[in-house]
């Protein structure tokens, strides 16, 4: 496998709206981020992904772009963006933006022109079909946020357009070469500005199975999940290869694809040496137990499931490339609330989960607030919820016969707002995020969980993440931590997640006791050094260790064991 400039880096996702507000309007902004670059440096990260900050009506919090070449005034100006790039460069930080090109906003000029003249040039930028009210729709696909993927084309009662996500996110027609060229031009414009690359949004969706056809309905609404169509659509990789050739490869850019359910035979073309992306996120854990019926029907993830999913992902890519490893992002619940059983979310458990994920082979990708162990924020009524996805799932649960309280339970477990509440900087009002009223309330636990407090505490989650990052950057261990092969250790031992990381010279053993009772783990060799320990001691006796509840250690072993 070829070595790439980004392989040894640690990445960090910023959700700009909730990171730091510099002007008291309650919305995080670019100047807020600029003011925190030194913080990111201190934490030890190298690559920073910004969720969308382009001009947008924010119907889906910026994943609905109305101008790819402009910064939304709520986030700042293009001058602020230039300053951010320059300041990041001074600190050797790489800025990566979100690339949202499966769809744009219905307020984008392309869509407005398509509405003015559906038969003209811009009509062909979208998927527009003739449709008389009352006639059957071209297909029964369900949009990601509920309801049909088809909505009436504004101003044209006899036409409809396709949107896999919200109706304010019309899908761009990638079959049209003019669309693709416009997208490549825009990508290169940003790369020319000094951007290091992109996280690539919803990219599997750009290839539709045509002509349209129905799939078996999977809910009472008579519609089917878009997954059926995607499983039957072929050729996305050819679009992506053309995109990479015309853009990313020319700049040696770093790209991380939001890729779900890729076809196994396509994997090398996705993230191999000449892949269309540098890397892609590992979502195998995030989709565990997902029910076609909706959030309300989704069972909690067990330690055994988590372990098996991580190891399967590692195996899948070991000869091919690097995954971006995550426990959460802006679409997911907080990892510590999701993967640690309710009521057991201790500081030790948070560190264990973070450590197990961080030490996997691949690129560790932290999400803002993860480094201080931020947790889900509970809501008591749906009126408090901003996330359009959660609002839909609430309705789905009610329609399935759940009480409002039960439906709120489901929302509280999975709402995307969980990870979008403002960063908890300190214990001052609004957690130091804003001097105004935050657009989304802060988690009331900020008086206990905040960065300022954790800086002072050598045993904090934050100081633990710093140690993990420092180990990755330590020249004595970099080779094995970044490139070492991953080999599961005793995967059959329940609630123990353990693996080797091996290079030609070194063997590390990573152990996590994924339960709230102690457990003994046999050792395959002799410990040379305890490199990381989330507790103060490690009980060892002949050939084994007795791990405390949620204990996590990284051991360097003697020789190759
Ligand atoms: C994935 C993004 O992460 C999510 O926030 C968004 O709603 C969809 N793609 C649509 O762009
Ligand atoms: Ca602001």
Q: Indicate which residue's Cα is closest to atom 5 of ligand 1.
A: 331
Calpha distance 362→315 (Å, rounded): 12
**560: confidence class by pLDDT, cuts 50, 70, 90:** low
How many angstroms separate the CA atoms of 471 and 401, rounded? 50
Compute the average pLDDT of residues 314-341.
98
Look at residue 497 in the predicted model and tell me its pLDDT: 98
Rounded Cα gap, residues 427 and 508, in angstroms: 38
The neighbour count for residue 291, using CB atoms within 10 Å, is 10
Q: 211 preceded by cis ω (within 30°)?
A: yes
Residue of 13, 53, 165 to test ligand 1 pocket, by largest number of atoms within 8 Å of CB: 165
How far apart are alpha carbons 521 and 476 in whole angstroms? 27
Rg (CA), the chain: 24
* pLDDT at residue 549, rounded to an integer: 98
Q: How confident is residue 460, by pLDDT bands cut at 50, 70 and 90?
A: very high
CA of 12 to the centre of ligand 2 (A): 21
Lowest mean pLDDT across 10-14, 263-267, 317-321, 323-327: 263-267
Nearest to 433 by CA among 379, 372, 390: 372
Sign of CA dihedral 136, 137, 140, 142: negative
* Backbone φ, ψ for residue 97 (5° rounding): -105, 170
Token pair of 333, please? 């619940």
| Mean pLDDT along residues 367-396 | 98
Question: Does residue 328 contact residue 370 with C-beta atoms inside 8 Å?
Answer: yes
Q: Is the CB of 165 under 6 A from ligand 1?
A: yes
Contacts of 559 by beta carbon, 8 Å cutoff, 6+ apart: 507, 525
> How much is the mean pLDDT over the chain?
97
Q: What angle do CA 364, 477, 321 make, to 5 degrees?
A: 45
Question: In angstroms, rounded to a whole number, what is the distance separating the alpha carbons of residues 345 and 347?
Answer: 7
**What are the strands, taking DSSP E only, across 178-309?**
197-200, 254-257, 279-281
Question: Which bound ligand lies closest to the C-alpha atom of 330?
Answer: 1
Q: Does ligand 1 have an atom closer than 6 angstroms to the CB of 331?
A: yes
Of the ligands numbered here, which is closest to the C-alpha atom of 18? 2
Q: Measured from the CB, is residue 100 less than 6 Å from ligand 1?
A: yes
What pairs with residue 512 in β-bridges?
A: 497, 552
User: What is the SS3 string spanning 162-201?
Assistant: ECCCCCCCCEECCCCHHHHHHHHHHHHHHHHCCCCEEEEC
For the segment 42-48, the average pLDDT, to the nearest whole number, is: 98
Q: What separation in Å is there between the alpha carbon of 201 and the centre of ligand 1?
A: 6
Q: How far is CA 182 from CA 57, 177, 341, in A?
A: 21, 9, 47
Residue 40 C-beta-side C-alpha neighbours within 13 Å: 31
Given 60, 106, 171, 201, which residue is catalytic? 201
pLDDT band at 503 (very low <50, low <70, confident <90, very high): very high
Whole-angstrom Cα distance, residue 103 to residue 106?
9
User: What's the rounded mean pLDDT across residues 511-521?
Assistant: 98
**Sign of the CA dihedral with 74 first, then 77, 81, and 86 last:** negative
Which of 41, 65, 38, 39 minimizes the C-alpha distance to 53?
65
pLDDT at position 522 is 98
Q: Which residues pair with 546 in a beta bridge?
A: 520, 539
Cβ–ligand 1 distance for 464 under 6 Å, the answer: no
CB 201 within 8 Å of CB 258: yes
Pocket lining: 60 vs ligand 1, CB cutoff 6 Å: yes
Q: What is the pLDDT of residue 542?
A: 85
Pocket test for ligand 1, best of 15, 57, 60 (most atoms within 8 A of CB): 60
Mean pLDDT, range 291-313, rounded to an integer: 97
pLDDT band at 559 (very low <50, low <70, confident <90, very high): confident
Residues 154, 161: Cα–Cα separation, whole Å = 9
CB-based contacts of 109: which residues, under 8 Å, 6+ apart?
Answer: 66, 67
Confidence class for position 263, pLDDT limits 50, 70, 90: confident
| CA 451/CA 378 separation, integer angstroms | 21
Q: Do 429 and 24 touch, CB atoms closer than 8 A?
A: no
Q: Calculate what percentage of the chain has a pLDDT beyond 90.
A: 98
Model pLDDT for residues 161-201, shown as the tens digit of each residue: 999 999 999 999 999 999 999 999 999 999 999 999 999 99
Cβ proximity of 103 and 169 under 8 Å: yes
Ligand 1 atom nearest residue 103's Cα: 11
Both tokens of 13, joined, read 């996702």
- CA distances 130 to 150, 154, 157, 206, Å, are 11, 13, 9, 21
Measured from the CA of 331, which atom of ligand 1 is nearest?
5
**pLDDT value at 391 more than 80:** yes
pLDDT at 561 over 60: no
Query: What's residue 1's pLDDT?
Result: 87
Is the pLDDT at 89 greater than 70? The verdict is yes
Name, in order, each residue with C-beta under 8 angstroms of 98's C-beta and a sequence gap of 6 or more.
49, 50, 51, 52, 62, 63, 198, 199, 201
Provide mean pLDDT across the span 470-493: 98
201 is catalytic: yes
Mean pLDDT of the 514-528 span = 97
Ligand 1, residue 64: give the atom nearest the CA.
11
Nearest alpha carbon, ligand 1 atom 11:
63
What does the pLDDT average to over 414-431? 98
Place of tokens 């020249």: 475
CB atoms within 10 A of CB 71: 20
Q: Is the CB of 256 within 6 Å of ligand 1? A: no
Q: Which of 258, 282, 371, 417 is catalytic?
A: 258
Report which protein residue has its CA nearest ligand 1's atom 6: 63
Q: 365 pLDDT exceeds 70?
A: yes
> Does the CB atom of residue 59 touch ligand 1 within 6 A?
no
Q: Is 387 noted as a catalytic residue in this protein? A: no
Q: Is the CB of 63 under 6 A from ligand 1?
A: yes
* Residue owning the nearest CA to atom 3 of ligand 1: 331
Interatomic CA distance for residues 355 and 335, integer angstroms: 12
pTM: 0.98
CA-closest residue to ligand 1 atom 4: 331
Q: Longest Cα pair distance anywhere in the chain, in angstroms?
A: 79
Top mutation candidate among 100, 330, 392 for ligand 1, by most atoms within 8 Å of CB: 100
- Distance from Cα 29 to the centre of ligand 2, integer Å: 5
Distance, CA of 19 to CA of 32 (rounded, Å): 7
User: Rounded distance, CA 149 to CA 145, Å?
Assistant: 9
């Amino acid at each position: 496998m070829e070595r790439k400039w980004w392989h040894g880096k640690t990445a960090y996702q910023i959700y700009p709206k909730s990171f730091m507000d510099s002007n008291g309007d309650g919305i995080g902004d670019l100047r807020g981020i600029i003011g925190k670059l030194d913080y990111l440096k201190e934490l030890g990260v190298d690559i920073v992904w910004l969720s969308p900050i382009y001009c947008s009506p924010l119907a889906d919090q910026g994943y609905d772009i109305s101008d790819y070449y402009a910064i939304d005034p709520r986030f700042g100006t293009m001058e602020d963006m230039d300053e951010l790039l320059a300041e990041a460069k001074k600190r050797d930080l790489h800025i990566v933006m979100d690339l949202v090109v499966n769809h744009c906003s219905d307020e984008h000029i392309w869509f407005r022109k398509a509405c003015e003249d559906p038969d003209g040039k811009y009509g062909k930028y979208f998927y527009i079909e003739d449709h008389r009210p009352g006639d059957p729709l071209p297909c029964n696909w369900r949009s990601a946020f509920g309801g049909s993927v088809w909505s009436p084309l504004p101003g044209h009662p006899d036409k409809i357009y396709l949107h896999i996500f919200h109706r304010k996110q019309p899908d761009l027609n990638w079959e049209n070469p003019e669309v693709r060229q416009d997208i490549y031009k825009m990508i290169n414009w940003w790369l020319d500005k000094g951007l290091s690359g992109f996280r690539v949004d919803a990219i599997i969706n750009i290839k539709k199975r045509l002509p349209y056809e129905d799939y078996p309905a999977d809910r009472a609404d008579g519609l089917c999940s878009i997954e059926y169509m995607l499983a039957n659509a072929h050729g996305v990789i050819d679009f992506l290869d053309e995109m990479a050739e015309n853009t990313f490869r020319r700049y040696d850019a770093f790209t991380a694809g939001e890729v779900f359910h890729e076809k196994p035979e396509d994997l090398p073309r996705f993230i191999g040496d000449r892949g269309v992306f540098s890397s892609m996120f590992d979502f195998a854990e995030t989709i565990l137990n997902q029910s076609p019926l909706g959030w309300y029907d989704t069972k909690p993830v067990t330690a055994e499931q988590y372990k098996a999913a991580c190891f399967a992902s590692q195996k899948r890519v070991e000869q091919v490339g690097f995954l971006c490893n995550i426990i959460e992002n802006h679409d997911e619940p907080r990892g510590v609330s999701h993967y640690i059983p309710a009521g057991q979310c201790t500081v030790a458990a948070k560190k264990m989960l973070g450590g197990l994920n961080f030490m996997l082979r691949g690129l560790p990708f932290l999400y803002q607030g993860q480094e201080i162990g931020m947790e889900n924020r509970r809501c008591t009524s749906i009126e408090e919820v901003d996330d359009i996805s959660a609002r839909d799932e609430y309705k789905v649960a009610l329609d399935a016969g759940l009480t409002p309280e039960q439906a709120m339970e489901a929302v509280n477990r999975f709402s995307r707002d969980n990870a979008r509440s403002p960063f908890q900087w300190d214990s001052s009002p609004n957690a130091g995020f804003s001097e105004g009223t935050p657009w989304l309330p802060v988690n009331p636990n900020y008086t206990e969980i905040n960065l300022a407090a954790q800086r002072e505490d050598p045993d904090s989650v934050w100081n633990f993440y710093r140690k993990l990052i420092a180990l990755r950057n330590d020249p004595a261990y970099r080779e094995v931590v970044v490139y070492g092969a991953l080999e599961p250790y005793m995967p059959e031992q329940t609630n123990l997640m353990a693996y080797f990381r091996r290079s030609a010279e070194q063997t590390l053993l990573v152990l996590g006791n994924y339960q709230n009772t102690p457990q003994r783990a046999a050792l395959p060799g002799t410990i040379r050094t305890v490199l990381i320990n989330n507790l103060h001691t490690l009980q060892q006796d002949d050939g084994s260790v007795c791990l405390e509840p949620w204990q996590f250690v990284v051991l360097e072993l003697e020789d190759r064991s």
